Amino acid sequence: MDVTLQNRNQGKTLFVVFTAMSLATATSLLAWGLGGLELKWAVYCLLGLLFPFVLAMVKDGRRFLLGLTLFCFPLNADINFIWHPSPGGANTISLGLMDILLLILAGFWLVRSSSAKMPGEIRFFPHISWPTLTLIFFALISMFVAQDLLWSLFDVINFFKAWLFFFILANNIRGRDDLYLVTSALFLGLLVQAVFVGLQFYKGSNLGLASVGLGEPNQILAFEMKAGNVPRPGGTIGHCNHLARYVGLLLPVSITLSLTHSSRKMRLFTGLVSVAGLLSLLYTLTRSAWIGLFVSIAVIGYYLFVRGHLNLHLIGKIGFAVLLFVLLVISYRSLIIGRVMDYDFGSAKTRLTTARVALKIIGDHPFLGVGINNYGTVLETYWDAEDTFTRRTAVHNAYLLIAAEIGLLGFGSFIWILAAAYTRIRRAIRLRARELSILAIGIMGAFSGFLVTALSDKSHKESYILLFVFWALLAIIEAVIRYGESAAEEARV
């Protein structure tokens, strides 16, 4: 009798939910079709009306929000309130789908934490939080000398949002299942980007995704080669170089798990993601990202060997992966050779030109810099070079850009973040749990590639999506350490 009553109640609940969802869908379609509402606003309206009912149906709202947040943020579904283009940082203040989901997730977590009344439920993660907040502090101090406070505000907000994202994410990854939920959501986001990239590349133009509120650029950049103008897609990340850095941060992790994970399903999934990611990285035609990937793979191989994870079975898998990679290179040899060997119209040379300008700025403003995201305000004064490719632009080097904008003391806080990231990843690699150690090795590969590619590009600073990916990987590392060390302690007891 109780079972029958329970089934009836569940049936009534589902009927109410589906009825409400149908009404929400009909309302949005009518507003778009008859009310003249813009398509993207109709889509946002539909999602907003449907979301509470979907959330009510899922078994674990916290985990659903956790995965959805990490999947959605590369889609770049944002509303920009102020648009003020900057040559070396954020261009706008925006409110996006990821921000809304993150706030809802924070609400779930805080309510749960307050009701649990357990010590250690909310953690600060000082190894990453202190250097990040110190960087934000120096960015705020640099605003005293900034000529354009609006530009400064853009970057400060983005850096703070990146830390908040890290803080909430690290506190909500609560075990092995959450770890692989988070990584799977990131990989699924990369897979969706790969589909967009492939379609953009073969179409040679954008797909009209901006009409539904996604972050597709207005036009797809093209690079002139002997074969003609070759499109360089950016997915919904934006610029093709931003896309290359995004792929370069996730691809080393997916490659590592595709070769080593104990689950066959996870190996197949990450293998598919790795192939799609490689093709996406190839289509961007970003040479420094290609170099960064080789560095990442070399670092991954080194740590797999040092930590004793290599065996004959894994070596055989690596050999097969290398064979597939060689076949891929052969298939796209004309594109690769053309990008490496053809004249690049001064694209590589501009890195040196802009670096010389940045060093002059740092020399004249060593303490506070010129103000966070204010490189553009002094660029005309210091630019004395002939550069037909970029003409006048910010330095294509994240290290020099940060040092020029917030001074050498502020730059020290950035180095502190990198040093802290390295030590925490190393600590995670030393864990006894094999799968956790290998996940950390993949992230070390991504981190190493980041260190190299930041020497020749400013994407990691000016794209908030890249900020979120970087701090998401640090949040995963903190969760790996937390879970791995607590599991080891329980085993000893």
Mean pLDDT, the chain, integer: 87
The three state secondary structure string of the chain is: CHHHHHHHHHHHHHHHHHHHHHHHHHHHHHHHHCCCCCHHHHHHHHHHHHHHHHHHHCCCHHHHHHHHHHHHHHHCCEEEEEECCCCCCCCEEEEEHHHHHHHHHHHHHHHHHHHHCCCCCCCCCHHHHHHHHHHHHHHHHHCCCCCCHHHHHHHHHHHHHHHHHHHHHHHHCCCHHHHHHHHHHHHHHHHHHHHHHHHHHHHCCCCCHHHHCCCCCCCCEEEEECCEEEEECCCCCCCHHHHHHHHHHHHHHHHHHHHHCCCHHHHHHHHHHHHHHHHHHHHHCCHHHHHHHHHHHHHHHHHHHHCCCCCHHHHHHHHHHHHHHHHHHHHCHHHHHHHHHCCCCCCCHHHHHHHHHHHHHHHHCCCCCCCCCCHHHHHHHHCCCCCCCCCCCCCCCHHHHHHHHHHHHHHHHHHHHHHHHHHHHHHHHCCCCHHHHHHHHHHHHHHHHHHHHCCCCCHHHHCHHHHHHHHHHHHHHHHHHHHHHHHHHHHHC
The range of the structural domain enclosing residue 359 comes to: 126-492
Confidence of residue 216 (pLDDT cuts 50, 70, 90): confident
Residue 121 lies in a domain: no
Residue 70 lies in a domain: no
Residue 87 lies in a domain: no
Confidence of residue 97 (pLDDT cuts 50, 70, 90): confident
Instruction: Give percent above pLDDT 70 in the chain.
Output: 84
**Where is the domain boundary, 25, 57, 89?**
57
Look at the pTM and tell me if it is higher than 0.85: yes
Number of domains in the chain: 2
Q: What is the mean pLDDT of residues 115-138?
A: 86
Per-residue model confidence (pLDDT) at position 39: 63
Instruction: Please tell me whether residues 28 and 174 are part of one structural domain.
Output: no
Assess whether pLDDT exceeds 60 at residue 7.
no
Instruction: Please tell me whether residues 253 and 395 are part of one structural domain.
Output: yes
Q: Name which residue leads in pLDDT, 115 or 107.
A: 107
Per-residue model confidence (pLDDT) at position 221: 76
Instruction: Give percent above pLDDT 90 in the chain.
Output: 59
Confidence of residue 1 (pLDDT cuts 50, 70, 90): very low
Per-residue model confidence (pLDDT) at position 302: 96
Residue 377 lies in a domain: yes
Q: pLDDT digit string (tens) for 364-409?
A: 999 999 999 999 999 989 987 766 556 678 899 999 999 999 999 9
Q: Name which residue leads in pLDDT, 119 or 113.
A: 113
Residue 67 lies in a domain: no
Give the least confident one: 26-30, 80-84, 271-275. Answer: 26-30
Instruction: Please tell me whether residues 360 and 457 are part of one structural domain.
Output: yes
Q: Name which residue leads in pLDDT, 154 or 13.
A: 154
Assess whether pLDDT exceeds 90 at residue 95.
no
